[in-house]
């Protein structure tokens, strides 16, 4: 948390000190955005991402925004788990070996954020900050070997190393904080091409990078 607080202070400092390019009434303009791209911790395990946003001006340089998204994140963390499972069809305890290749997280993030425009021009760079909550589900992807060390009539016969229930897997739902930067290219007076990179600090799952491209209008 100390690291996150430090990064937040770094991000907010130029905003608090910034002077408006021109004075505009607060929340006098509303913009919408649709962006898509990739979500990853490591490049080989990249998943898809899409983000919808609504934003409005606080000053001529600062926009406040609300974001709703959908993304897939893979944790490339292989492991093995030995356990047993009781099967009704033959009334026996089956030993099982689960070989996990990776864990897949399907995430619906809801966030609030701020966007600070560094330079207003046809090509406008900006910095951004987001904080929110990830509603997530998880799935261990791999191979399950059933009956690998035999099947037994009673629990007492199951070998000690398999005398465990199936390991629980947390869904990954947690608070998230994102810091990033991007660039907007003006296509028309109302529409911009938007390219951004965001690094997310996640409370319960691996941190991730996100690269998005889309339109704001």
CB 116 within 8 A of CB 127: yes
* pTM tops 0.85, yes or no: no
Per-residue pLDDT reduced to its tens digit, 86-117: 998 899 999 999 899 999 999 999 999 999 99
CB 181 within 8 A of CB 125: yes
Mean pLDDT within 158-181: 92
Is 197 within a domain? yes
Per-residue pLDDT reduced to its tens digit, 110-144: 999 999 999 989 999 999 999 999 999 999 998 88
Looking at the structure of the chain, the number of domains it has is 1
CATH number at residue 192: 2.40.160.20
Q: Which of 103, 84, 87, 58 is nearest to 158 (CA)?
A: 84
Structural domain that includes position 89: 2-16+27-216
Of 101 and 5, which is predicted with more confidence?
101
Is 21 within a domain? no
CB 170 within 8 A of CB 117: no
**SS3 assignment, position 214:** strand
CB 37 within 8 A of CB 49: yes
Is 115 within a domain? yes
CB 201 within 8 A of CB 177: yes
Mean pLDDT within 57-71: 96
**SS3 assignment, position 43:** helix
Is 207 within a domain? yes
């Amino acid at each position: 948390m100390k690291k996150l607080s430090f990064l937040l202070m770094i991000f907010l400092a130029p905003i608090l000190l910034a002077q408006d390019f021109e004075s505009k009434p607060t929340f006098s303009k509303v913009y919408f955005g649709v962006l898509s791209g990739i979500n990853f911790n490591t490049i080989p395990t990249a998943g898809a991402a899409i983000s919808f946003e609504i934003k409005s001006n606080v000053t001529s340089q600062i926009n406040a925004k609300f974001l709703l998204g959908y993304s897939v994140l893979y944790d490339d963390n292989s492991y093995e788990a030995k356990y047993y499972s009781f099967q009704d069809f033959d009334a026996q305890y089956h030993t099982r070996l689960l070989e996990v290749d990776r864990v897949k997280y399907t995430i619906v993030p809801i966030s609030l954020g701020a966007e600070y425009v560094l330079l207003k021009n046809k090509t406008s760079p900006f910095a951004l900050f987001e904080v929110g909550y990830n509603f997530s589900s998880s799935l261990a992807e791999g191979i399950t070997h059933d009956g690998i060390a035999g099947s037994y009539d009673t629990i007492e016969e199951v070998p000690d190393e398999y005398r465990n229930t199936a390991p629980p897997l947390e869904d990954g739902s947690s608070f998230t904080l994102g810091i990033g930067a991007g660039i907007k290219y003006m296509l028309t007076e109302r529409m911009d091409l938007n390219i951004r990179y965001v690094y997310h600090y996640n409370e319960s799952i691996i941190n991730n990078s996100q690269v998005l491209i889309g339109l704001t209008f």
